[in-house]
Amino acid sequence: MDETDHWRNMASAPRDGSRILVTVRSSEQGPAEVDMAYWSRADQFGEEGWRASDSSPGRVVEYAEPELRCWMPLPTAGRASMPAPWEGDDVPLVDGEGI
């Protein structure tokens, strides 16, 4: 398994605007799914927070922190398929576990 090919705790997700894969928790709207998202600073289109990468001005898709379970870097070129959403317990922090 590639070092980047595993789900990580959202607390360690980069908040620099880079795009990442996220597992969106299952809800009344449907089962868990994988989406590409990025951290956005507040602007005229919305608050600071996680946005779906296919957001556009006037059609911003924002995720509340509790909606996202875990993240992983974008896969390298040549990956055969999209990873499955994380279905296990919440992904623990490995390094720098919270207090």
Residue 20 forms part of a structural domain:
yes
pLDDT of residue 66: 93
Residue 68 forms part of a structural domain:
yes
Report residue 1's pLDDT band, with 50, 70 and 90 as the boundaries: very low
DSSP 1-64: --TTSS-EEGGGS--SS--EEEEEPPBTTBS-EEEEEEEE--BTTB-SEEEETT-BTTB--EE-
Question: Averaging pLDDT over each range in 27-31, 34-38, 45-49, which range is the top one?
Answer: 34-38
Domain that holds residue 25: 8-73
- Between 4 and 69, the more confident residue is 69
Q: Domain total for the chain? A: 1
Average pLDDT over residues 37-44: 89
Question: What is the value of pTM for the model shown?
Answer: 0.74
Mean pLDDT, the chain, as a whole number? 83
